[in-house]
Amino acid sequence: MIIHKEGRTLLFVLLIILVAINGAVYYFAPESTMTQNFLIFASVLFYTVILQFFRSPIFVIEKDHKYVLAPADGKVVVIEETEETEYLKSRRKQISIFMSPINVHVNRMPVGGTISYFKYHPGKYLVAWHPKSSTENERTTVVTKMKNGTEILFRQIAGALARRIKWYVKEGDTLEQGQEFGFIKFGSRVDIFLPLNAVVKVKIGDITKGGRTVIAEIN
């Protein structure tokens, strides 16, 4: 387990601020032991919460071109057939994974291949489980073309708290299955659009692990 690069500067600055606040209370109110103890407890608790948010687990990714891996840690909230209108412009099976603030927020490639399309969309900040969040919220759209020619589309979607989407890909890049492609800060959602013949391996309410949980099989 390591600290993700997106959180290192924030955590360093936050540590300095919390130490300064606690030091000031100790200096100006040396006799207020109860206040000092409460502030120390609150500071440690707050820092631990932020620290765990930026954790990035290290593990071996078992690659298999037949399988689609979960792009994120979270909970499956949508499994449905829908029309993808931005790029694929066809009927697809959609799987959506909601990422709460306590989940690991690293986003990983569900399949390996070449990035054939990428676009960033500014937008609203509806709660991530809102039906319109997929098309109206701030989001990115990434399409990966696999070696067999199949294209898989997935979106990073900002939520009410998540107002910082980070991505590390561009059109023409080639990435491996499970490789990190982005990060979303403080709660979010990832949608993935699969061919209609894909066999879904999860159900509503299932908990996923990014880069580890098989969410579908492509025939």
Catalytic residues: 188
* 50 token code pair: 């932020």
Beta carbons of 84 and 193 less than 8 angstroms apart: yes
Q: What is the DSSP annotation of 95-122?
A: EEEEE-TTS--EEE-SS-EEEEEEEEE-
Residue 149 DSSP one-character state: S
Q: How far apart are the first and last CA of the chain?
A: 34
Element (H, E) at 47: helix 33-53
Within 73-197, residue ranges assigned H as helices are 133-136
Report residue 20 as tokens.
Answer: 């300064």
* Six token digits for residue 137: 């919220």
Q: Which residues face 138 on adjacent strands?
A: none
| Burial tier of 76 (Cβ tally within 10 Å: 0-12, 13-18, 19+) | buried
Q: Distance between CA atoms of 212 and 158, rounded to whole angstroms?
A: 23
Closest CA to 74 of 50, 103, 109, 94: 103
